[in-house]
């Protein structure tokens, strides 16, 4: 089942790496108390999604490569997200003088 005529690395290997990266990102997103680390975890998750898109684009959609175009859009949105997220983080830090995620409870009901 894991045989692959294109190269020695099967598609499943890429999927496994990306699944691990995604789960690490989810764990970091939940458990980080430093707000910068939360943003880093989000970037890890976006990278995992990109690996998935790229590997499917190369193995299954090799002639049209829609996945590569889509991952370029994902990279664009990730860059915008990082910029706005860090700006929000800076203004939060100015107001609260902390980056502990536990102290950001303005919207807590």
Partner 1 sequence: MNIAYSTELICFLILSAVIVSGSLAVVLLENIVYSAFLLGGVFMAVAGLYLLLNASFVAAAQILVYVGAVNVLILFAIMLVNNREKLKPIEGLKTRKLISGGVCTGLLILLLRVSIITKWNIPGPTSIGEEATERIGEHLFTDYLLPFEVASILLLMAMIGAIVLARREVSIPTDYINDLKTKKSLDDKKIPLLSGNSLK
Residues 15-54 that bind partner 1 (CB under 8 A): 15-17, 19-28, 30-37, 39-41, 43-44, 47, 50-51, 54
The answer to whether 95 contacts partner 1 (rule: CB under 8 A) is no
**Helix or strand holding residue 51 (H, E):** helix 35-59
- Rounded to a whole number of angstroms, the minimum distance from the CB of residue 27 to partner 1 is 4
Tell me whether residue 107 is exposed, middle or buried, using C-beta atoms within 10 angstroms of its C-beta: 0 to 12, 13 to 18, 19 or more: exposed
Residues 53-92 that bind partner 1 (CB under 8 A): 54-55, 57-66, 68-69, 71-73, 75-84, 86-91
The radius of gyration of the chain's CA atoms, rounded to the nearest angstrom, is 18
């Amino acid at each position: 089942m894991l045989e692959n005529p294109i190269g020695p690395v099967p598609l499943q290997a890429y999927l496994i790496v990306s699944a691990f990266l995604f789960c690490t990102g989810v764990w970091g997103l939940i458990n980080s108390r430093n707000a910068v680390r939360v943003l880093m975890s989000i970037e890890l998750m976006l990278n995992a999604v990109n690996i998935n898109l790229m590997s499917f684009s190369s193995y299954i959609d090799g002639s049209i490569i829609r996945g590569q175009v889509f991952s370029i859009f994902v990279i664009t949105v990730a860059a915008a997200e990082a910029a706005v997220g860090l700006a929000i983080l800076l203004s939060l830090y100015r107001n609260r003088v902390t980056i502990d995620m536990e102290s950001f409870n303005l919207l807590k009901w």
